[in-house]
Amino acid sequence: MSVPRAVPPGQHLPTYARELVRMHDAVIAGSSSTLRPRAVVSRSWSRVLGLGLKADDVNARNWLGEAAIARRREASPLREVVPDLENIVGSLADASQLLLVVTDREGVILWRSGTPAVRRRADALGFFEGADWTERRVGTNSIGTALAEAAPVELLAGEHFEQGQHPWYCTATPVHDPRTGELLGVIDVSGPALTLHPAIGALVETGRLLAESRLWRYHQERLERLRTVGAPVLTSGPALVVDDHGWVAAAHGVAVGSRIAVPVAGQPLAVPGLGACVPERLADGWLIRPSSADRTVTLVLDLTGTPQVRLSGGDADWRRTVTRRHAEILVLLHRAGRDGLSAEALSRALYWDADHVVTARAEVSRLRRLLGALVETRPYRLSGDVRMSVVS
């Protein structure tokens, strides 16, 4: 999805930026203005005003310490593509005016790249590593609003809620895991308002496409290395070789799709077609083999208290607490039977509209970390080897 431009065609940038600042002051004060906020800005201002944030000041910032930043960086898949993004922005002739920012899925800035001059200007706004740039903390801004809207956003001058941000433009787009569609974070390019160029949106979109394509390539390369390591052990009987996240690198005698539940040392897991399995550690992955001849998997969803899933099959027998949303998804899939549900249908069932497809997919992705191939995709449904019941 391309980034919508903040400046209408034919508008003189300095003049339009001043008009946006006057519009902001009038609308926030409850007065009339000949220029009205764009729909995305109006929705954001409504959300922010409901939070009680101040428009005429810099609201209190919240940021993490160095240790917390380091942990989040290590956990973020985007760490692998940040150097590529920095190279793209740094190669531009006017890079001295640009600030590249990459956040995690919660809107916390993890990486920031730019000249000392532009970084100092950003420091004055609390726009630095570890800062939370969601709408609830800093008002309408491209990072927080892109997260709230689940869409690319470009903002100019007075479209920002805080007056302190009016000297800036910002252009941002969410980045998703190419394997699951799950939100990973946001790429943002910001700079002085009067330096906004029509190509900035295309630059940010290029960064997103590069990031997602590189992540997919790195994933495939890791699976290929694991496939080479695991091939010699897949010589007899049904078995799988998977990575640390349950992605299947190689299979013998069984077809389970692209992913199973995340293996944990010493904990049995159930796999469609294999039944109960005990993971065996390999270099950078796991060997998954059945521990008994029983291939049936029984799933019991207990809703009498905090939602729990009890899974049994052969020698596997474990309980896991699940969120109420995941319990709701399991009930819906149980009712749908083998016909299953499309992402759009699941969005309607969960959120009463088809506008939350990305969110619905992300919830299923998180559920599949726990249950793996027991939940199938395209359409979403329970595996044919699963016998599920609900206790309520």
Dump pLDDT digits (tens) for 307-341.
Answer: 999 876 555 567 889 999 999 999 999 999 989 99
Distance in angstroms (rounded) separating the CA atoms of residues 114 and 336: 51
What is the reported pLDDT for 318?
73
What is the reported pLDDT for 306?
93
What is the reported pLDDT for 317?
65
Show the low-confidence residues of the chain (pLDDT under 70): 93, 292-296, 312-317
Residue pair 38/159 in contact (Cβ under 8 Å)? The answer is yes
What is the reported pLDDT for 314?
54
What is the reported pLDDT for 238?
87
Distance in angstroms (rounded) separating the CA atoms of residues 173 and 208: 7
186 DSSP β-pair partners: 103, 174
Answer left, alpha or beta for residue 74, where phi above 0 means left and psi between -120 and 50 means alpha.
alpha
What is the reported pLDDT for 55?
93
Residue pair 2/201 in contact (Cβ under 8 Å)? The answer is yes
What is the reported pLDDT for 377?
83
> How, if at all, do strands 316-321 and 183-192 pair?
unpaired
In this structure, the number of other CB atoms found within 10 A of the CB of residue 255 comes to 10
Structural tokens at position 39: 């729909």
Cα dist from 222 to 174, 244, 365, whole Å: 24, 11, 20
Which domains can be identified in the chain, with CATH numbers?
13-218 (3.30.450.40), 234-290 (no CATH), 297-391 (1.10.10.10)
Tell me the residue ranges of DSSP E strands in the chain.
99-104, 109-113, 153-156, 168-176, 183-192, 239-242, 248-252, 269-271, 275-282, 285-290, 297-302, 308-313, 316-321, 375-376, 381-382, 386-391
Q: What are phi and psi of 169, to 5 degrees?
A: -110, 160
What is the reported pLDDT for 294?
62
DSSP state for residue 247 in the 8-state scheme: B
What is the reported pLDDT for 93?
57
What is the reported pLDDT for 140?
97
Task: Name residues whose C-beta falls within 8 Å of residue 357's C-beta, 6 or more positions apart in sequence.
Answer: 343, 344, 347
